[in-house]
Structure 1
Amino acid sequence: MPDKYAARVENVQASWLCHENIDQSKILDETMQVDTNNAFRNGTIDIDFVELGQRLRAYRTGAGLKAEDVAASLGLSRAAVYLLEKGEIVKVETLVRLAALLGVSTASLLGVEMEYYSNAVAYFERMRQLEVDSKHLMMHFEPVSFLLTTDGYLVHLRERLMDAVPKGRAARERWEKQVDDIISVFQERKRHYIEHRPSITNLIGLREVEGFLRFGLLGRAEFSPAVRKRRVAAVQTEVAHIISLLESESIGVQVGVVEGGMPGVNFQIFRQKNRSYVGVSPLRLHEIPEVNSAVASMTASPEAVTLYQDMFKAWWLRASKGSDGSRLIKQLVSRLQRKGA
């Protein structure tokens, strides 16, 4: 480590020891920042600059910033920002300033082991980017992956997200923009899937399907009879679509239904030609929209990918496929109809 960077770390650590009431988490982050910057300078971090640019775009999108906003804040041209998002970053100082502007760590921007996303738009945009180069997607989402929903589902999803709009004009405008950004990213994800058809293996939890039938697109809020009827019909359409996917056993689409408990978070494994990623997300959209107070993550760590693949395979062996899976969901629908749920 060059002397000036070593001195910087020592100064930070000394500050920690000398001031008991200093924010220690901030000091630790600053120390790690110095180490990351130094590794970046010395080339000891193996960086894929194209992916670095993609992460930059994802974080910028999630922050609700346009390229010209970033340009103005950093004193750059808009064209320079677009070059940055193509991975043409030559100065570590630029990277540090970008991280500070976007409210993320330099390590997350570099993709060192783990990327963290506290914003739904940024996380879904990152998913979209990785899906572009993926040949096989292994996933567990409640109740089913968006990529396997019907063409009309986005209209109902947008309505559900807008149910959670906060009070106040400024807050409402920010929320509407975020919802529009989420829908836009989802539209791009669906468009790419339809055009390129990567293979999909999707685990579905029977309990999650039951929750979707009871509360999906409604939550526990009160709606007019007309709105309730329309949304209940939309949920039933999606469940019927899941049943058709199971019964048709479409080429490139495998769906398995698991009885009992499933992992408490959504996750997706992106299998690409030369590497794989796993994204883990507690974000909720269908029942009670939860898009701003949860942290999602993405990593290409071989250990993490292997652990999630092994877990997925274990659940897949337990899952009911084809007509067996279809029968489980049909029985659930009949049972709920008898109960009037």
Structure 2
Amino acid sequence: MTSQYETALHVGERLRSFRLGKGLLPEDVASGTGLSRAAIYRYEAGQPIRVDALGKIADFLEISVASLFGVGSEFISTAAGFYERVRQLEGMADQISVLFGPISYLLTTEGFDALLPDILMESVPELAVNRQNLGSQIDEIIELLLARKAGYLSRRPNIISLVSAAELEQVLRLGFVGRHGINGAELKRRRAAALAEVENILRLLTDQPMGVQIGLVEDSLPGASFQILRTGSAAQVAVSPFRLGLYANIRVGVATITAAQDSVKLHQEVTAQLWQNSLKGNEAADRVRSILANSADEIRA
């Protein structure tokens, strides 16, 4: 169980994730609260926050003080805020269990990172409000995602990734696109990128790098993705409506992060059931080879 002292230490991390989620700089928070910029930097670095300052920050960010303390569940309405919070939690985790379709981001290649800005931009409708300002938001999201991946690669916590066979088939057929209507040479490029990621999953299944376990699920998966992040005996669940890759979503939805025992237990049970029934090792590799064989000729045509 997380102590009250540890909870207080992590207030600064939550402050940073809420600030980033609103697209604000530390200077903006300082100006809006009457606090000094240096104080905001100190608070985000983990130094104690005065009670009066805590209330001013919560009011300015339009969140509750309880949310800053992580009491109960954390609700995050922006992709940037969610990815920053997950980055923080992954930086402490010993084990990460991921159910994320079609492919867990932490296990993707550099080629996927290079394509991701295009996917995210085209996922936003032309008539969306403030679309003209979206470039900087996407840049921030990409920066956070790359920081997550760098943190994972430097620490190498154990990762259990559940992958849907049906979604692999779908992404090979459609390619990594953010919307309908991608055609011609561009569609061919997107399908080639999808092929490269599925081939990478096959490599992971055959090479079996230490700390990486992949289960190929033939059953249907829940609509929302989630991660269970375990640090020692404590665990938290991050449930996300945000999606990367095929028909990405970085704009609409509310993510939830909670350490509530009933939520953690239920998600662990779902994960255990899916893992038990999934294909693993050589059996999973053979299934991915069959998926690739059914799609590769069409993609390369």
TM-score by length of 2: 0.91
For the Cα contact (< 8 Å) 1:49–1:88, is it kept in 2?
no
The answer to whether the aligner puts 1:239 opposite 2:198 as a matched pair is yes
Look up the match of 2:9. Answer: 50
Indicate how the Cα distance of structure 1 residues 243 and 186 shifts in structure 2: closer, same or farther if over 3 A, else same.
Answer: same
1:170-227 Cα deviation digits (max 9, x unpaired): 9244211111111001111111111111111111111221222223422552235221
Of the structure 1 ranges 252-261 and 304-313, higher mean CA displacement relative to structure 2 is found in: 304-313
Indicate how the Cα distance of structure 1 residues 219 and 71 shifts in structure 2: closer, same or farther if over 3 A, else same.
Answer: closer
The answer to whether the aligner puts 1:298 opposite 2:257 as a matched pair is yes
State the one-letter code of the partner of 2:119.
Answer: R
* Aligned-pair CA distance for 1:320: 0.5
Indicate how the Cα distance of structure 1 residues 87 and 321 shifts in structure 2: closer, same or farther if over 3 A, else same.
Answer: same
For the Cα contact (< 8 Å) 2:35–2:53, is it kept in 1?
no
User: Superposition pairs for residues 188-337 of structure 1, below 5 Å?
Assistant: 188-336=147-295
1:7-57 Cα deviation digits (max 9, x unpaired): xxxxxxxxxxxxxxxxxxxxxxxxxxxxxxxxxxxxxx7771221110110
* Aligned-pair CA distance for 1:322: 1.1
Q: Secondary structure of 2:98's match?
A: strand
User: Superposition pairs for residues 1-80 of structure 1, below 5 Å?
Assistant: 48-80=7-39
For the Cα contact (< 8 Å) 1:200–1:253, is it kept in 2?
yes
State the one-letter code of the partner of 1:54.
Answer: E
User: Superposition pairs for residues 84-163 of structure 1, below 5 Å?
Assistant: 84-163=43-122
Indicate how the Cα distance of structure 1 residues 164 and 102 shifts in structure 2: closer, same or farther if over 3 A, else same.
Answer: same
State the one-letter code of the partner of 1:101.
Answer: F
Greater relative CO, 1 or 2 (CA 8 Å, sep 6+): 2
Look up the match of 2:146. Answer: 187
* Aligned-pair CA distance for 1:113: 1.3
Give the unaligned 5+ runs of structure 1: 1-44
Q: Secondary structure of 1:48's match?
A: helix
* Aligned-pair CA distance for 1:168: 7.9
CA RMSD of aligned residues (A): 2.3
State the one-letter code of the partner of 1:266.
Answer: S
Q: Secondary structure of 1:286's match?
A: coil
TM-score by length of 1: 0.81
* Aligned-pair CA distance for 1:90: 4.2
Of the structure 1 ranges 298-307 and 315-324, higher mean CA displacement relative to structure 2 is found in: 298-307
Q: Secondary structure of 2:45's match?
A: coil
State the one-letter code of the partner of 1:107.
Answer: A
Report which of the two structures shows the higher radius of gyration computed on alpha carbons: 1
Partners of 1:53 and 1:338 lie apart in 2 by 51
Indicate how the Cα distance of structure 1 residues 77 and 166 shifts in structure 2: closer, same or farther if over 3 A, else same.
Answer: farther
1:251-270 Cα deviation digits (max 9, x unpaired): 11000001020122111111
* Aligned-pair CA distance for 1:77: 1.2
Q: Secondary structure of 2:94's match?
A: strand
What's the % identity of the aligned pairs? 38
Partners of 1:146 and 1:123 lie apart in 2 by 14
* Aligned-pair CA distance for 1:133: 0.7
For the Cα contact (< 8 Å) 2:175–2:193, is it kept in 1?
no
State the one-letter code of the partner of 1:302.
Answer: Q
The answer to whether the aligner puts 1:83 opposite 2:60 as a matched pair is no
1:274-327 Cα deviation digits (max 9, x unpaired): 521110012122122212211111011222212211211111110111111112
